[in-house]
A and B are shown apart, each in its own frame.
Chain A
Amino acid sequence: MDFDPKWPRTGKSTSPPSNIYLELPRKPFLELPPHYILFILFSTMADYDRRNQSRGDRGDRGDRGGRKRRYRDDDDFDRRPQRRRYEEPLFAVVRRQLLTIAESAARRVEDDIQGIAKSVTDNYDDEEIRRDFVNISLDLVHEQPMKIPFIAGTVLVAHSLKPELGSEIITKAAGALQKYIDTGAWREVKLLIRFLGILQPLFEGDGIFPLLEELFARAVDLQTASSEDLLGLELVKIIQFTLPYVMLSPASGFEAQANGLLEKTDIIATTPHALVDLVNTFCPEETQSAAGQSVISLMQSQLQKEASNGWELKCLPRPWKDLRDPETDEFKSFDSVTKVAFPEITVPNPVPNGPRPLFPEVYLSVYADQEVDTVPATDDISSSLIRDALVDTINLLDFNRVATAKFLIDIDCYFTPYTFVKRATPFDRMRDLAGEVQPWKPEDVAVDAVFSQLFQLPTAEHKLVYYHSVLTECCKIAPAAIAPSLGRAIRFLYNNIDTMDLELSQRFLDWFAHHLSNFGFTWKWSEWTEDLDLTAIHPKIAFINGALDKEIRLSFAQRIKGTLPEPYPKLITSGKEKDTPEFKYASDMAPYAKEGQELMQLIRKKATDEEIEPVISAIEEQAKSQGVEDPKIPSTDAFVTSICFVGSKSLSHVLSCIDRSKDRLLAIGAESKHARTQIITSVMDYWVDQPGIAINIIDKLLNYTILSPLSVLEWALVESVAAGTILSKPHVFEMISATVGKVTNRMRQIVAARTQPGLYEPQLTAIDETLSREREDMQTLFKYIEDSIVSIAAGSNDEQMERGDGTGDLPEDAIIRQWGRRWLRVFRRKVAVEEAFISDALTNATPLGTEAPAGATDGDLDIADADADVQ
């Protein structure tokens, strides 16, 4: 029988040829057609070229270029086996091993560590291998913090074989560290010090401790200077998160120093910062039990516990521990290696404030109150150590959410074996496993870390959608393992929604809807069915309704309705199912129906303002004759409702309608306060069933300055306040937050313009005046919010007083007051954050009156640019 070399790729035959299991005599190399030999030569050369040309270019790891099948027609034998003859050059092997260190559970990481160290030291003279090793090691320290112990382990071994290599990498790390200290990049400082901390046995004398002591001295100075200081706390955090790694290292005899340092940090770490309550996940005034502790105070007590346990540090890997010398088969000792001096690092005094605004951090776990522990308890140092490594990984790798998700799923590779139970162990099984040694559920620990960042106050480091996408990606990689963990997280958050910070419950809502939209909108709604009997303004009802509205925004009503079990479908009213809401003037019974229809036709026809004017006048005349106090109100209503109706087709439609009518709309706003809020009322009424679209349009009207931020507040917090019940509506909170966000964002742009270097008079004064004016406006805005909501929180709002029997004892009254308190908390925090930002930024600004030095050009960015940015 003929052997078909193309089998099974031809697809013609479904059964294999009978001789497939027989070894075919291999064609000797020289019998290959000549062009194929050339092909092999070229491909190796291409690789060689690439090697020279793209040194250090690790983005290019895949097999690209030169490897494509070139001779498509020539298919008379299978070339594949021969291609494997090409041997990967050593530098590529080292690169790959280093980049993927500890990633595979199937290989002993100790072998990799020894292998890499040996390859590099054996080829110490190959500059490329050496440089790759140094650079990639440090890059990994920067970007993949979970691998630091493994990288440091490799360096320890490499140093024992070739001390020059150890010195080289330490020098390079020190250079980077110095740069980061000088610029205040504290996370990078933390990671590099951690790396150097594990290299402690290589250093002479006290090694890293003098540097830690110096950082502590700076922290004390900062704390003494101001009780509001946050930078000092950050330095203490760096010390705290370095100590375990120093104690983990093979160096011994440093207990006294570590304990001494720990005693010193105690007072700073345990004194609560004034802002810590404002950034708590749960409102401390609503619930004492759920409120979290600050990260550093928690870490302090965990470290003390660990110090008294002889620094057991159970979860952290010690890949250097079981290393045997391949020749003598003895355990490796790092005591005898050539010691090097700890590099010279100068810590400036005072230390610079980094570009990233600092805030106290609170430890949050969404798996805190389960019957069986699936994540480390807060008295266990593992909770802080694992969280810290995960959080840095998540925030550092925002440029590749797929990689982030993969690291999260592989979390068990980076900590001591048996720290975690097997992946995808069901929660029920955890109960049986609970015993003397408590391993944790890797999925819960990973998901917990993502939530801690999604719910970071006052702001998350990246756009929130990044954290959404990480969770989505995790779910895609391991759906069966992650989905139940998310389910329990959702339950925890939902059950605590009334005491959660309002901004965070809004983030929860956004994430929940977005997440479901990625997974077919399936959720076990039936478990919340009982809650549907709660009063309409209850936080849980607000959440359910808000989530359904968001789901509809991400899809369409009928589809969402189809995903809901009884009795939920009734929550999606027929109004929500309409793509285009009805035009109220279409009914002849409606007041001003004729004019309304006429107006709509004119707008649709893109009529000129002269054609529109008579219709508007007609409405106003008619209103006047009926004794309407402000005839601008019905005319504005007809005009804006018509715009909404004509523009209901798409964002582009409504934008072009608004654009054409903007002069008239601007005039309305300028003329009458009531007509201005009527614009909002008309938009909100027209889109009452799809509030997401309404607030989108409001947003655009703010961009056109047709509405002022204050008018949006007036509309929500006074005109439509409905005895405070409006505070329960998620979309209203979203609208007010977005409005305030526009103001604070503009403020920040002006501050940036004011603080840019190289700015001189007269621009300085001009920008400073704008700044003062806008700052006052912002304060007015915040004061307006404060004043309106304080009365609701206290139950003394006029409308609230008139409700029911006036005692304020209705069950709903308590809920309304709680909404008030939660709103207040959010906006008071915003005030504190913005004011702190402005005063911080201004301390470094060029003082007023600074003249340009002779010969220098004027500052080229002026306020006009800042304005342009805002528009």
Chain B
Amino acid sequence: MFDGRKWRETGKEAKLLMRSGIPAPRSFWELRASLLPSTPTHQHPFLLNFCAMSLLAVNTVDRLDRPSAYFGGKNKRRRYNEEEEQQEQEKAGNKLKNATTLYVGNLCGEIKRLVMGLDRFNKTPCGFCFVEYYTHQDALDCLKYVGGTKLDERIIRTDLDPGFEEGRQFGRGKSGGQVRDEYREEYDPGRGGYGRAYDEQRQREEDEYGAGR
């Protein structure tokens, strides 16, 4: 019913797809470029030091410029030794300390380099991309200011990333796209209806129901 391939072929759905901004990669880059003004005065190194100086060791409200659990948890085996775990996290933290690449889910932006995320099988954009900035501060600022805002009707998810490596541009989901797209419970016409894993399950349930009758 909402098989990915079929959906791509029907004209009406394809239009929706475009509206969501997934396919034509071009509609991405000027977006970000225009959002993050290139006026560089605020990058003045002294200013950064100043910010660092006045930061407290712990803040009275949570910070939005911290990497999510994704990176730390990526290679994580179950650990019973807490100390070991903490060290692991610190290592991850160090790797991200100077990270200039931002993992951007859903939609994204420009600056030094941009790698579009592609469906593993169809080689079509599947809604995420890597945005590499010239400075770590820019990446952090994007995380703080742009993550969670809407761009062309889609909420942009952003996360710090240790850096693009060949192969990472492809979706890791079973059907080729993003993993999160497999398990999406809500219906999103711009992204092919329901999550594909759920879709399969729905399909199976429907078939079984039919067979039982």
Contacts and interface: CB of A to CB of B under 8 A. Distances in A.
B41 A744 contact: yes
B26 A649 contact: yes
Contacts of B59: 58-59, 139, 143, 399-400
Interface string A16-33: 000000000000000000
B54 A142 contact: yes
B36 interface: yes
Contact of A696 (B33, B35, B37, B65): B33
Contacts of A752: 45-46
Contacts of B47: 355-357
B34 A550 contact: yes
B61 to A, nearest CB: 4
A748 B47 CA distance: 12
A555 interface: yes
B110 interface: yes
Interface in A448-503: 458-466, 468-469, 472
A222 B30 CA distance: 47
A20 B35 CA distance: 54
A519 to B, nearest CB: 8
B39 A185 contact: no
A555 B30 contact: no
A145 to B, nearest CB: 11
B151 interface: yes
A400 B153 contact: no
Contact of A185 (B19, B46, B50): B50
A791 to B, nearest CB: 27
Contacts of B60: 58, 99, 136, 139-140, 143-144
Interface in B4-63: 18-19, 21, 24-31, 33-47, 49-50, 53-54, 56-63
B152 interface: yes
Given A355-B49, A401-B145, A56 B152 contact: no
B26 A579 contact: yes
Interface stretch (A109-117, A734-742, A760-768, A851-859): A734-742
B46 A741 contact: no
B61 A397 contact: yes
Interface residues of A, number: 71
B141 to A, nearest CB: 5
Contacts of B58: 56-59, 139
A373 interface: no
Contacts of A579: 24, 26
B62 A459 contact: no
Given A399-B59, A459-B42, A579-B24, A464 B37 contact: yes
Contacts of A466: 141, 144-145
B110 A399 contact: no
A622 interface: no
Interface size class of B (residues with CB under 8 A): 35 or more
Contact of A403 (B26, B53, B62): B62
- Please classify the interface of chain A as helix (H, G, I), strand (E, B), loop, or mixed, using the class held by over half of its residues: helix
A472 B149 contact: yes
Contacts of B115: 652
B114 interface: yes
A553 B34 contact: yes
B91 interface: no
A99 B21 CA distance: 42
Given A183-B53, A465-B37, A514-B35, A650 B26 contact: yes
A752 B146 CA distance: 29
Interface string B122-166: 000000000000000000010011100111110000000000000
A163 interface: no
A178 interface: no
A745 B40 contact: yes
A129 B54 CA distance: 25
B35 A400 contact: no
A651 B114 contact: yes
B38 A741 contact: yes
Interface in A619-633: none
Contacts of B110: 651, 696
Interface string A691-708: 011001001000000000
Max chain A C-beta neighbours (<10 A), residue from B19, B115, B152 = B152
A649 B45 CA distance: 36
Given A517-B151, A554-B152, A742-B40, A559 B19 contact: yes
Nearest to B29: A651
Contacts of A403: 61-62
Interface in B178-192: none
B43 A510 contact: no
A13 B151 CA distance: 41
A402 interface: yes
Contacts of B36: 463, 465
A259 interface: no
A398 interface: yes
A518 interface: yes
A648 interface: yes
A650 B40 contact: no
Contact of B40 (A140, A183, A741): A741
Nearest to A407: B61
Given A139-B56, A143-B56, A465-B146, A399 B25 contact: no
A57 B62 CA distance: 11
B145 A463 contact: yes
B110 to A, nearest CB: 6
Contacts of B45: 748-749, 752
Nearest to B48: A355
B118 to A, nearest CB: 12
The CB with the most chain B CB atoms within 10 A, among A57, A59, A397, is that of: A59
A462 B149 contact: no
A399 B30 contact: no
Given A400-B61, A517-B152, A510 B37 contact: yes
Interface string A53-78: 00011110000000000000000000
Interface string A504-515: 000000100110
Nearest to B153: A520
Interface in A337-360: 354-357
A188 interface: yes
A556 interface: yes
B50 A356 contact: yes
B111 to A, nearest CB: 10
B193 to A, nearest CB: 21
Interface string A541-567: 000000000100111100100000000
A185 B53 contact: yes
Contacts of A559: 19, 152
A400 B62 contact: yes
A677 B149 CA distance: 39
Interface in A640-696: 648-652, 690, 692-693, 696
A459 to B, nearest CB: 5
A650 B61 CA distance: 39
B5 to A, nearest CB: 23
Contacts of A56: 57-58
26 contacts: A56-B58, A59-B63, A99-B60, A136-B60, A139-B59, A142-B54, A188-B54, A355-B46, A400-B63, A461-B42, A465-B36, A465-B146, A469-B145, A469-B146, A514-B34, A553-B34, A556-B21, A556-B27, A579-B24, A650-B28, A652-B25, A652-B114, A652-B116, A696-B33, A742-B40, A752-B46
The 4 closest A-B pairs by CB, nearest first: A651-B29, A745-B40, A355-B50, A403-B61
Given A58-B58, A400-B61, A556-B18, 15 more contacts: A136-B60, A356-B47, A357-B44, A399-B63, A400-B64, A403-B62, A460-B42, A461-B42, A465-B141, A510-B37, A550-B34, A553-B31, A651-B29, A651-B30, A652-B113
Interface of A: 56-59, 99, 136, 139-140, 142-144, 183, 185, 187-188, 354-357, 396-403, 458-466, 468-469, 472, 510, 513-514, 517-518, 520, 550, 553-556, 559, 579, 648-652, 690, 692-693, 696, 699, 737-738, 741-742, 744-745, 748-749, 752
